[in-house]
């Protein structure tokens, strides 16, 4: 194996006699500095590589990253199948490992990517779960505004549905990102990419009620002064706290679907498409790099149209 001391993106890789842990740390730095990926995206990639690392540790002879072959990868994927991993998750792991070995090839640690000819398992298109507009309303109405956190929680739900934000974007939302007079909110999405999203009057009103009733009177911890949504200790919210909050109000509203903050994002997009919104505009608001990702909502739209026909057409029943 060649030893390289070249500098990439402002950091130095010493490639001789490195362990899995060292390579993975280098990969993480590469994703952060050169690819400008968010912390959540980096963690997802690292989890995929760790699965191969764990598998390598189980082998009789320790498998080093630079010695991994296509056959090793195929055996690893068969192992994932045996332990019950879904085709969709396997596909994601393949994508993460392909990026990892691309990095190793770039750094001249491996001569070629062992995943180059590996095909992801075929998976059927799974349409995301969505909520109807009445269901959205019932969840929002389930918030008890007499409680201290009530106006905050209502504002969070209104923003999730009004803007179609990812939960990571919601908890990172700052007061200085709001432009109520213009009717826009500034969002920092995946890869630190910025976009402006229109925000509706209901969401703006809910934010204003929250700020007047609670946010403006809270004791805020250092570093959280500009964050819009805070917990009771005056710190910005965690992802899990938003997940739990959504689950609580969904249950209170008597909705039996599996609902998460991302369900509000899917509902936002599907309702726009159902209403005739331009797909490019929806892509821009969601922050999708490819229009292909957004096109899934056209399938949701077709499903909606079919259900309407079956429900209301005299010969549909």
161-172 pLDDT, tens digit per residue, is 999 999 989 999
- pLDDT for res 14: 45
Q: How far apart are CA 220 and CA 174, in angstroms?
A: 13
Q: Indicate if 161 and 274 belong to the same structural domain.
A: yes
Q: What total of structural domains would you count in the chain? A: 2
pLDDT band with cut points at 50, 70 and 90 for residue 138: very high
Tens digit of each residue's pLDDT (9 = 90 or more) over 8-53: 443 434 444 467 888 999 999 999 888 888 888 899 999 999 999 8
Tens digit of each residue's pLDDT (9 = 90 or more) over 73-121: 888 888 887 677 777 788 888 889 999 999 998 888 888 898 887 877 7
Q: Indicate if 42 and 138 belong to the same structural domain.
A: no
Q: Indicate if 193 and 274 belong to the same structural domain.
A: yes
Tens digit of each residue's pLDDT (9 = 90 or more) over 255-286: 988 888 989 999 998 888 888 888 888 888 88
Residue 80 is part of a domain; what is its CATH number?
Answer: 1.10.150
- pLDDT for res 197: 92
Q: Indicate if 263 and 149 belong to the same structural domain.
A: yes
Q: How far apart are CA 259 and CA 71, in angstroms?
A: 40
Residue 180 is part of a domain; what is its CATH number?
Answer: 1.10.443.10
Cβ-proximal residues to 247 (8 Å cutoff; 6+ apart), any chain: 259, 260
Token pair belonging to 98: 């392909």
Q: Phi and psi (nearest 5°) for 197?
A: -120, 135
Token pair belonging to 100: 């990892």
Q: Would the pLDDT of 7 be above 70?
A: no
Q: Indicate if 153 and 96 belong to the same structural domain.
A: no
Global pTM reads 0.60
Cβ-proximal residues to 266 (8 Å cutoff; 6+ apart), any chain: 128, 129, 130, 297, 300
Q: Phi and psi (nearest 5°) for 253?
A: -75, -5
Q: Indicate if 235 and 177 belong to the same structural domain.
A: yes
Max CA distance (Å), the chain: 74
**184: part of which helix (H) or strand (E)?**
strand 184-188
Q: Indicate if 23 and 148 belong to the same structural domain.
A: no
Active site residue ranges:
166, 190, 262, 265, 288, 297
Expressed as residue numbers, the domain containing 89 is 7-106
Q: Indicate if 166 and 203 belong to the same structural domain.
A: yes
- pLDDT for res 85: 78
Q: Would the pLDDT of 126 be above 70?
A: no
Beta carbons within 10 angstroms of residue 76's beta carbon: 23
Q: What is the DSSP string of 202-267?
A: HHHHHHHHHHHHTGGGS---TT-TTBSSB-TTSSBPPHHHHHHHHHHHHHHTT--S---HHHHHHH
Q: Would the pLDDT of 5 be above 50?
A: no
Q: Indicate if 39 and 162 belong to the same structural domain.
A: no
Residue 197 belongs to some domain of the structure: yes
Q: Indicate if 172 and 36 belong to the same structural domain.
A: no
Q: Indicate if 306 and 166 belong to the same structural domain.
A: yes
Residue 96 belongs to some domain of the structure: yes
Tens digit of each residue's pLDDT (9 = 90 or more) over 210-262: 999 999 999 999 999 999 999 999 999 988 899 999 999 999 999 988 888 98
Residue 2 belongs to some domain of the structure: no
Q: Higher-confidence residue: 230 or 4? A: 230
Beta carbons within 10 angstroms of residue 88's beta carbon: 13
Q: Indicate if 143 and 281 belong to the same structural domain.
A: yes
């Amino acid at each position: 194996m060649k030893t390289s001391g070249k500098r990439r993106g402002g950091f130095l890789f010493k490639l001789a006699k490195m362990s899995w842990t060292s390579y993975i740390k280098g990969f993480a730095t590469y994703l952060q500095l050169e690819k400008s990926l968010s912390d959540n995206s980096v963690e997802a990639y690292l989890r995929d590589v760790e699965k191969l690392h764990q598998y390598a540790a189980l082998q009789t002879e320790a498998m080093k990253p630079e010695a991994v072959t296509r056959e090793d990868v195929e055996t690893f994927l068969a192992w994932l199948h045996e332990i019950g991993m879904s085709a969709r998750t396997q596909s994601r792991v393949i994508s993460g490992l392909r990026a990892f070995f691309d990095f190793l090839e770039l750094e001249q640690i491996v001569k070629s990517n062992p995943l180059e000819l590996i095909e992801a398992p075929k998976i059927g298109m799974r349409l995301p779960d969505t909520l109807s507009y009445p269901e959205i309303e019932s969840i929002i109405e389930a918030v008890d505004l007499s409680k201290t956190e009530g106006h905050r929680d209502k504002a969070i739900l209104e923003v999730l549905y009004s803007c179609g934000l990812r939960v990571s974007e919601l908890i990172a939302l700052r007061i200085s990102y709001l432009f109520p007079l213009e009717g826009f909110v500034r969002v920092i999405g995946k890869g630190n990419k910025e976009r402006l999203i229109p925000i509706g009057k209901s969401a703006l009103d809910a934010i204003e009620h929250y700020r007047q009733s609670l946010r403006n009177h809270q004791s805020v911890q250092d570093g959280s002064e500009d964050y819009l949504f805070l917990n009771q200790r005056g710190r910005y919210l965690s992802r899990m706290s938003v997940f739990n909050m959504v689950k609580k109000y969904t249950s209170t509203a008597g909705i039996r679907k599996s609902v998460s903050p991302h369900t509000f994002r899917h509902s936002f997009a599907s309702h726009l498409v159902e209403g005739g919104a331009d797909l490019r505009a929806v892509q821009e608001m969601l922050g999708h790099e490819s229009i292909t990702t957004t096109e899934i909502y056209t399938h949701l739209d077709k499903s909606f149209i079919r259900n309407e026909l079956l429900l209301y057409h005299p010969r549909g029943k």
